[in-house]
A and B are shown apart, each in its own frame.
Chain A
Amino acid sequence: MRTLATRTVRFTAGCALGAATAVVELPLVLLGGLVLLLAGARPGTARGVPGPVRAVAAALLAVERRRLGRLLGIRIAPAPDDARALRYLAVRWTLGLLGGAVAALVLVGIAYSSLFVYAWWLDDIAYPLAVAFSNLGGLLLLFLACQGVFGTVMLEEQLARRLLGPSHHDELERRITQLATTRAEMMEAVDGERRRIERDLHDGVQQRLVALGMLLGRARRSHDPAHADALLLQAHEESRRALVELREVAWRVYPTVLDEAGLRAALETVAERTPLPVRLDYTVPVPPPRQTGTVAYFVVSEAVTNVVKHSGATRVEVRVGRDGDRLLLRIQDDGTGGADPAGGGLTGLARRVAALDGRFGVHSPAGGPTRITAELPCA
């Protein structure tokens, strides 16, 4: 109830202010229109509009935007070009005057509905019934006027959205640009991962196998049975290590447990495999969709790996929760901070998240601690 009252007051003030700006705008619009006619500007484009007209329009628009945002709670993203904004100024004065009228009616309604109070105060009520009727009429007028205020604000919003904000076409263009960018970045991220896998195979598994082969080769060439035995023993050990290494690489490529047992189990495995204590706080009742789960897994796993490699932390806290249709991730350590969001691993993560239309944040002041957050769509 209170919020409704404050909103009514704010809206009424907004409408009144809108009327005041309309009074200023109307002559300027007429003048500007005249200038545009003389300058031969083409309708619907910003070409040929003289600089002074543009400057005045920009100043008026700034005032309007502030009024819309502060008093009416209408926030509009800036449009890519201001040609349509000129049209907004050309027509909005009509709404301004309407707003002025309804704001005035609100005041009148307040005056009438409180008639009884003044009368009682002045203490000579000759016709109490008539006064009471006037009061009721005033209340009704007040109610209707408030409705008028709300209606005007709705119209203001529609007009502003249509002419001030990005058009449907602009929105589509922006979306296409964004999709093209995230697609290209996704390819980059995938290539980066492939390079890493290649490096893992060559520098890890292959080296171990070559070392193993060398040990066996040396054992075969050895003329001393005891020495050959010792080499075979080493070779056996080396083969075990090569297998472990292979398992590790395969796990880093894609953890099958993610498909078999879901995100929670996969994250628990990450926690188990991490040499630092990892506290996992997982509060997602329904398993997220596969795509989301996979990205969430990689964000946590990469972030935790980074903590182990670079942060000097003693513990990590991973929180996975849900807020409406978003999956929220937070990985926080108690390390020295200074993580570089532009670094390879973090960039790859940011790209993966962006490709899902999610949000990704790195908060890592020098001296720590580092906090990595991600929001993923989870409908």
Chain B
Amino acid sequence: MRIVIAEDSTLLREGLVRLLAEEGHEVLAAVGDATALLTAVAADPPDVVVADVRMPPTHTDEGLRAALDIRGRWPGTGVLVLSQYVEKRYATELLTSDGGGVGYLLKDRVVEVDEFLDALARVARGQAAFDPEVVRQILARSTRTDPLARLTARERDVLAEMAQGHTNAAIAARLHVSLSAVEKHINAIFDKLGLSGTTGYSRRVLAVLRHLGS
């Protein structure tokens, strides 16, 4: 894949460049702030952008703003946002931007190299990738009025996997159940949450997440 990296810590930026190069990807640019990121993407739109949420000058959410901007202007470029901590607001903003090609991972997740590379590949393909921790926090809300409360434990597991952006086949493999069982669970989930999910898998994930994050 062709990748642009935006991360203000030199240490991590270099680490990411090396890691991706070793995996055979092409790093077009590695920059340290949001302005340089937009310039780099405009010069040569990549398949996917990896951006830190907090970057100079204000260290608040420049990276996220730039990511949303990129999703709007270059639909062919996916964005994977890295954050220091789970911030549901950021996740929601990414979700409500437009469909797939977005990802939101905790920065520490980069340590799980396999998971990180997998998330990056999914985002580049126009799917979604959300950090298990983000999903866990969203799913943790469980009030009496919450339709989530009506899900069985197994259905919750499936929902969490789905919300991270995994395919049905991947969910079946990860939960050690058959593909038809996963499909049955998913249908039950959509029934209980009142969602008609028949239009492509990432849209369904987003619909679920949007419903949960509302």
Contacts and interface: CB of A to CB of B under 8 A. Distances in A.
Interface of A: 199, 202-203, 206-211, 213-218, 220-222
Q: Which of A202, A214, A215 has the most CB of B within 10 A?
A: A214
Interface in B108-123: 108, 110-114
Contact of A218 (B11, B12, B113): B113
A203 B9 contact: yes
Contact of B110 (A199, A208, A210, A220): A210
Q: Which of B18, B19, B111 has the most CB of A within 10 A?
A: B111
Contacts of B84: 202, 206
B110 A218 contact: no
Contacts of A216: 111
A225 B11 CA distance: 24
Nearest to A222: B22
B210 interface: no
A218 B19 contact: yes
A256 B110 CA distance: 34
A207 B11 contact: yes
Contacts of A211: 11-12, 15
A297 B213 CA distance: 47
A209 B12 CA distance: 10
A206 B23 CA distance: 24
Given A202-B84, A218-B22, A222-B22, A213 B110 contact: yes
B107 interface: yes
A218 B18 CA distance: 9
B68 interface: no
Q: Is the interface of A mostly helix, strand, loop or mixed?
A: helix
Given A206-B107, A210-B111, A216-B111, 12 more contacts: A206-B108, A207-B9, A207-B11, A209-B111, A210-B110, A211-B11, A211-B12, A213-B110, A215-B15, A218-B19, A220-B113, A221-B23
B16 interface: yes
Task: Give the 4 A-B residue pairs with the shortest CB-CB distance, closest first.
Answer: A213-B111, A217-B113, A207-B9, A214-B15
Nearest to A217: B113
Contact of B111 (A203, A217, A222): A217
B11 A208 contact: yes
Contacts of B114: 217, 221
Contacts of A207: 9, 11-12
Interface in B1-58: 9, 11-12, 15-16, 18-19, 22-23, 54
A222 B18 CA distance: 12
Nearest to B112: A217
A294 B22 CA distance: 50
15 contacts: A203-B9, A206-B107, A209-B111, A210-B12, A210-B107, A210-B110, A210-B111, A213-B108, A214-B19, A214-B111, A217-B19, A217-B113, A218-B22, A218-B113, A220-B113
A202 B12 CA distance: 12
Contacts of A215: 15
A140 B113 CA distance: 102
B61 to A, nearest CB: 14
A83 B53 CA distance: 60
A193 B9 CA distance: 22
Contacts of B59: 199
Interface string B70-106: 0000000000000010000000000000000000000
Nearest to A224: B22
A159 B131 CA distance: 76
Contacts of A214: 12, 15-16, 19, 110-111, 113
Contacts of B15: 210-211, 214-215
A304 B112 CA distance: 41
Q: Which of B23, B59, B84, B107 has the most CB of A within 10 A?
A: B84
A238 to B, nearest CB: 8
A65 B146 CA distance: 74
Contacts of A220: 113
A209 B107 CA distance: 11
Contacts of B16: 214
Contacts of A203: 9
A210 B15 CA distance: 9
B167 to A, nearest CB: 23
Nearest to A241: B11
A124 B22 CA distance: 125
B8 to A, nearest CB: 8
B86 to A, nearest CB: 14
B17 to A, nearest CB: 11
A218 B15 CA distance: 10
B157 to A, nearest CB: 26
B24 to A, nearest CB: 12
Nearest to B7: A207
Contacts of B54: 202
A229 to B, nearest CB: 15
Nearest to B18: A218
Nearest to A212: B111
B21 to A, nearest CB: 10
A202 B8 CA distance: 12
A203 B11 CA distance: 10
B7 to A, nearest CB: 9
